[in-house]
Chains A and B, each alone.
Chain A
Amino acid sequence: MITLQEILVLITFLFAVGFMITKFIWKPAFLKPKKKSDKACGAKDCGCH
């Protein structure tokens, strides 16, 4: 029979996995600059400042 402590372990585990996914998979994958102005550096953008 599943005990209360086991349910608590399951909930805590799911929270932990959810946190890790949000932190390392979801956010970095969708991390985009607010706006790409012509001042943003990239590729061969010399003297971008």
Chain B
Amino acid sequence: MGKQINVALIGNPNTGKTSVFNQLTGLNQQVGNYPGITVEKKEGICKLPRGLKAHIIDLPGTYSLNASSLDENVVIDLLLNKNDKDFPDVAVVVSDAENLKRNLLLFTQIKDLKIPTILVINMADRMKRKGISLDIELLEKKLKTKIVLVSARKGTGIEELKEQILNYQKISSEPCLNASDMDPEYFNLLRKTFPNQALYKLWLVITHDANFGNIDRGTLTKDANFNTKSVGDLKRLQQKETILRYQFINDLLKEALTINLKNATDLRIKLDRLLTHKIWGYVIFSIIMLTIFQAIYDWSTIPMDFIDVTFASFSEWAKNALPTGPFTNLIAEGVIPGLGGIVIFIPQIAFLFLFISILEESGYMSRVVFLMDRIMRRYGLSGKSVVPLISGTACAIPAIMATRNIESWKERLITILVVPFTTCSARLPVYLIIISLVIPNKTYLGLNLQGLTLMLLYLIGFGTALSGAWILNKILKLKCKSYFVIEMPGYKIPIFKNVALNVIEKTKAFVFGAGKIILAISIVLWVLGSYGPGENFNNAEEIVTLRNQSENISEKHLKEEIASFKLENSYIGIMGKGIEPAVVPLGYDWKIGIAIVSSFAAREVFVGTLATIYSVGSDEEETIKKRMGAETNPVLGGPLFTFASGISLLLFYAFAMQCMSTLAIVKKETNTWKWPLLQLVIMSSFAYLVALIAFQVLK
């Protein structure tokens, strides 16, 4: 096997970089984090001609190498550190045919680092329609590189790109610009002081003060009269650098780029006017959201029922097929029902991400961000807060990380604090099971009531986030300047491959991320529910039989009585009874109390916990929904899951801060435990209060 070529995929946001990455790597990709920080790292393997392979890293989108955020620092850290195992043999800069001028700024900077660099001009299929024509030969000559015209949407140009990657050694590593033009005297001094370092690389190291330790200070000549410049002077030089680069790019594009405006259609302008209209914009957004929530319910009923029945049968099969004993019971009553409680929600979660991906891919999401900026401002947030708030519907963790591009610290802090109110996918299993138990599956004015309730819960989450932001904006006495700039990408028909990969990746992350926790909690809960201290637990059979001696009850009923008595006297039963006084006023029993406590680790654990608790000692093959529906309230009698207790539970989960990972990430992003602890106390107390009021009013 030959050497693997390291390729760094770099580009401005919205250039279709990830689409090119998907085309190159297909399913051979994995998503992780950069060590020590929470910036997402996407890497994959691409098969090249002649049996060679390339290791491709999809770096975070950046407009230039003058970093201003953590994401952008990742790009620079990698490009400046030759010792990094991912240091690229070749850089592939992805640009967009419509925004070539802006994209070339980044390209020239990377080229000046003397790394062989290929320029990919993406969305080439739209050039004709937009009236764009390029003199590729001239561009290649002046930029001293190889250019590949690609349409990631249609998959064209990918093979040529692979060929260029394979032949990267033939690409010139000569820089585009002479860095010393910025300040000849200063750069000559730099060259003398660090004779073995590339000049532009030195410049980047100095301006970012990043990786300064990577430079061997022993290389400093003893008599070097080297003085560092002030931050202000460095900023001025950076500005000069940008001006010089744009002069070069403007001169180049004057010759190499022609745009025939007559050919450009004005459909985008018309669509923008409609979708960002101050009334119609919101109406269209509401209709789209309503359709999504209706579809989530309608389309996923059949696969959900199938999964539920399959897991119940699987559990029954395990019990019969494996040798009798506690370990078999652990598998049949603990592990399988617990996992079933998460797998059952795959269809809904996949549909939710399918719709979100389509909205993002089509370019509509940027219009939503723009539209929402008008509302956000009133609540002390920025238009950029919409991205975290919408991402929060998937998971609060990446959403909190996405706040890094909000320039104002106050707006960023407020966004971090309110994001956990938005309905994340972990709440979805709780909502779906409770809604199906307490809201009738009927239609009203053509709308499914269960779907409407789900949408209402999403609106409650979003509304609470906004109200919370408004309050925090009044309380927090931080004065920061804020501005809002967003790029509106062109409208595109979503690429199926991108949407599919996104859905698979997000669903996989949800199932495997939550699955491990649920599996562990299911095991712990089963053990705590199957063993107990004292006489009552050990002699449960005798005690219950003795109690029911005078009554003529069936064997099945007696078995159920024994199982119930054992559970009540198990470790978990004792713990549950301990917290019962706190949850009874909310309409719950001790089993729900235990599920709430265990779901402090992660919300989605709730359903798995109940599935495990209800399965302990049960011989019946039943679905989770049936088991929950059959539970009776020990205090009030009648079904446990009534309209009142169901609504109370839904509202509790809508407001409670039940996610340890979110607390950890808030601590990390704010550098203090103050904010996550405040979040935990305030959100949980508020959730308890609202749930209490709801149950007491509705019961």
User: Which residues of A does B touch, CB under 8 Å?
Assistant: 3-6, 8-9, 12-13, 15-17, 19-20, 23-24, 27-28, 31, 33-49
- Give 5 nearest A-B pairs by CB, closest first: A34-B36, A5-B325, A42-B671, A5-B327, A28-B664
Binds A, one of B129-137, B281-289, B519-527, B623-631: B519-527
Residues of A within 8 A of B566 (CB): none
User: Beyond A20-B521, A34-B36: 16 further Cβ-contacts under 8 Å?
Assistant: A5-B323, A9-B326, A9-B330, A16-B524, A19-B520, A24-B601, A28-B667, A31-B664, A33-B36, A36-B671, A37-B209, A38-B209, A39-B70, A43-B671, A47-B407, A47-B409
CB within 8 Å for A34 and B330 given contacts A13-B527, A46-B408: no
* A16 to B407 Cα, complex, angstroms: 42
Of chain B, the residue at the smallest CB distance from A42 is B671
Task: Please give the residue numbers on chain B whose beta carbons come within 8 Å of chain A beta carbons, in ascending order.
Answer: 35-37, 68-70, 73, 209-210, 323, 325-328, 330, 404-405, 407-410, 412, 478-481, 516-517, 519-521, 523-524, 527, 601, 660-661, 663-664, 667-672
B331 closest partner in A (C-beta): A12
Chain A residues, Cβ within 8 Å of B69 = 39, 49
Q: Give B522's nearest chain A residue, CB to CB.
A: A16
Decide: A28 and B517 in contact? CB cutoff 8 A: no
Majority SS of interface residues in chain A?
loop
Residues of B within 8 A of A33 (CB): 36-37, 668, 671
CB distance from A41 to the nearest CB of B (A): 6
Residues of B within 8 A of A47 (CB): 407-409, 480-481
Check A16 against B523 for contact (C-beta < 8 Å): yes
26 contacts between A and B (CB under 8 A): A3-B325, A5-B323, A5-B326, A6-B326, A9-B330, A12-B327, A13-B527, A15-B523, A16-B521, A19-B520, A20-B517, A20-B524, A23-B516, A24-B601, A28-B660, A28-B663, A28-B664, A28-B667, A33-B37, A40-B671, A41-B669, A46-B478, A47-B407, A47-B409, A47-B480, A49-B68
Main secondary structure of the interface of B (DSSP, over half): helix
Q: Is B479 within 8 A of A46, CB to CB?
A: yes
Q: Which residue among A17, A40, A43 has the maximum number of chain B CB atoms within 10 Å of its CB?
A: A43
If A34-B35, A34-B36, A36-B671 touch, does A46 touch B409 (CB 8 Å cutoff)?
yes
Nearest opposing residue in chain B for A29, CB measure: B664
Partner among A9, A20, A41 whose Cβ is within 8 Å of the Cβ of B409: A41
| Residue of A17, A40, A44 ringed by the most chain B CB atoms within 10 A | A44
Contact partners of B328 in chain A: CB under 8 A: 5
- A28 / chain B contacts, CB cutoff of 8 Å: 660-661, 663-664, 667
B484 to chain A, nearest CB (A): 14
Docked-complex contact A41 and B667, CB < 8 angstroms:
no
Min Cβ gap B116→A in Å is 29
Please report the C-alpha to C-alpha distance between residue A9 and residue B73 in the assembled complex, in whole angstroms: 47
Contact A13:B325 (CB < 8 A) given known A31-B668, A42-B672, A48-B409: no
